[in-house]
Structure 1
Amino acid sequence: MSDVLSGKVLTCKWVVLAVKRHKQDLKRFSGKGAEYYFDLEAGMRVIKFFEFLKHSKGEWAGQVFKLSPWQQFVVYIIFG
């Protein structure tokens, strides 16, 4: 996330806004009694789970399914 916000990773404005919103949400919902919480470990577990999956058909059959950085971000937010 810091690479997107610093400009190290070039993205469209919508991705930058999504990263900013997620960062704000983390601050807003931190601490005891928060309405929602973000489980960092759960998000990482799901990303690591993808390392055990393999493509079953086509050009990449048998190869490990590797998430792109943007896919990792989406999965991390959804499952964290």
Structure 2
Amino acid sequence: MRKKKVCVGRRDWEEAGIPNMQLWEFELLGKFLCYRIQHPSAQSKASAAARRRLVEVLAQTLPQGRLVSASAAGAGGSAIASCEP
């Protein structure tokens, strides 16, 4: 029996000028749109740009849904999911 993938559709934001591995989006369990960034303590210009871009994206989508934030233990990053009510 083949396991269903939990995270699918990974997209980076290189076309928007954000370096790979700084900001990416994926779908969780087929219903949650998630974004991952480097840990907020990261001080690089690329990390700061990724955080700014994520805030812009969330500002455009938040009125339509609710926000769920999670931190994965040991992963060194943060995950934020936006889903329809």
Same fold by TM-score, threshold 0.5 exceeded? Answer: no
Answer with 1 or 2: which has the greater Rg. Answer: 1
Q: Report which of the two has the higher share of strand.
A: 2
Higher share of residues assigned helix? 1
